[in-house]
């Protein structure tokens, strides 16, 4: 940890492919690509880490093929760090087609309906074959409204799976992160945290949040969890990418976070700015020849007007997806750069409050 301002932390994540300054937003490349963007785009935006998904890459093109290609970095042409999810979110999102046992999780493929069993040992091996810099343990992410008894059983099983992942893990240059569950119950969060830290990992993720609960409940659960994680290890919040949410979790001591939101918004014609979201489908942008964000130095804002981008969005041109995605990822990565600067200067709380106020006043235009 380089600096601290309240619970907010600025630090450095050391990886085999170089150091990464934190807090860091990690664009999601589920299938080995961040939608609409090249690795060069991501490098230009300053992205420090990119995500890949074990479940999808295992099914297509197959982790054996990726390994034969020299690993995911070489396969997708990205030379920076990669974090791979174990498929735990699919345990949640594919609830209608999966069954859970002590052994692991049996899924139906989203591609052809074939059945596959993910065990802690298999997901660990697949992530080693993919060659990611950070691998995640297999966990279950229960729905927030599940009964307390379900959360109790689930967190215990997740802790046992985590221990099996660690025992199976043999790739010395790959970090392995544990995941804390427990839903919205503070005592269960504390129980899961204790069990996970007892196993011992290179970093720790806070899972089971941002999956349908209210923002207030999410932040309350995070506030009872993040500060209790080992101070010298990275803390990862799984699945948040809106600007206000990013600053809120940074304030609670989170170092790493990911989300598909910046590129998903772009595909629907929405751009992120310090004055709120811009809906490029709105008529007011048809004759606006200024940039999306005059404070932004990305390729999109440097070379293209709102009017041109609005035209591309209305015509559903593929270039619209790329240019707005590039801006949104750049904007989100730069927001974290600003947060790191303010933490190091001891000004984070006041700066963050003012930034959120400006953003929320703008809302959607």
The catalytic residue positions are: 85, 258
Strand partners, 11: 22
Backbone angles phi, psi at 34, to 5 degrees: -80, 120
Helix axes 186-199, 215-225, angle to 10 degrees: 40
Whether the CA torsion 73, 76, 81, 86 is positive or negative: it is: negative
Supply φ then ψ for residue 107, to 5 degrees: -115, 160
Dist. CA 63–CA 203, nearest whole Å = 24
The answer to whether 73 and 123 have CB atoms below 8 angstroms apart is no
Nearest to 327 by CA among 256, 273, 268: 273
Q: Which residues does residue 12 pair with via DSSP β-bridges, in sequence order?
A: 21
Q: Which of 152, 142, 86 is nearest to 119 (CA)?
A: 86
């Amino acid at each position: 940890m380089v600096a601290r301002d309240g619970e907010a932390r600025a630090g450095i994540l050391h990886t085999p492919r170089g150091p990464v300054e934190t807090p860091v937003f990690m664009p999601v490349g589920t299938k080995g690509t961040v939608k609409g963007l090249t690795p060069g785009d991501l490098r230009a935006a300053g992205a420090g880490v990119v995500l890949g998904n074990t479940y999808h890459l295992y099914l297509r093109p197959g982790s054996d093929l990726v390994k034969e290609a020299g690993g995911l970095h070489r396969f997708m042409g990205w030379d920076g760090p990669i974090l791979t999810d174990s498929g735990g979110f699919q345990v949640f999102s594919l609830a209608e087609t999966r069954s859970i046992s002590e052994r692991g999780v049996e899924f139906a493929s989203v591609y052809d309906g074939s059945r596959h069993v993910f065990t802690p040992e298999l997901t660990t091996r697949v992530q080693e074959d993919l060659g990611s810099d950070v691998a995640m343990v297999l966990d279950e992410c229960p729905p927030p409204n599940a009964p307390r008894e379900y959360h109790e059983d689930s967190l215990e099983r997740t802790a046992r799976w985590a221990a099996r992942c660690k025992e199976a893990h043999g790739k010395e240059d790959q970090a392995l992160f544990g995941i804390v569950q427990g839903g919205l119950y503070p005592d269960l969060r504390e129980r899961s945290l204790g069990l996970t830290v007892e196993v011992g990992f290179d970093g720790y993720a806070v899972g089971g949040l941002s999956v349908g609960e209210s923002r207030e409940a999410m932040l309350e659960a995070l506030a009872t969890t993040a500060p209790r994680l080992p101070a010298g290890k990275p803390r990862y919040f799984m699945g948040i990418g809106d600007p206000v949410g990013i600053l809120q979790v940074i304030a609670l001591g989170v170092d790493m976070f990911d989300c598909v939101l910046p590129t998903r918004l772009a595909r629907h014609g929405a751009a992120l700015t310090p004055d709120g979201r811009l809906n490029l489908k709105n008529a007011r942008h048809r004759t606006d020849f200024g940039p999306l964000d005059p404070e932004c130095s990305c390729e999109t804002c440097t070379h293209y007007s709102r009017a041109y981008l609005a035209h591309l969005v209305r015509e559903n041109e593929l270039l619209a997806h790329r240019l707005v995605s590039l801006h949104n990822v750049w904007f989100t990565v730069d927001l974290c750069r600003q947060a790191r600067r303010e933490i190091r200067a001891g000004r984070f709380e006041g700066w963050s409050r003012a930034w959120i106020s400006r953003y929320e006043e703008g809302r959607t235009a």
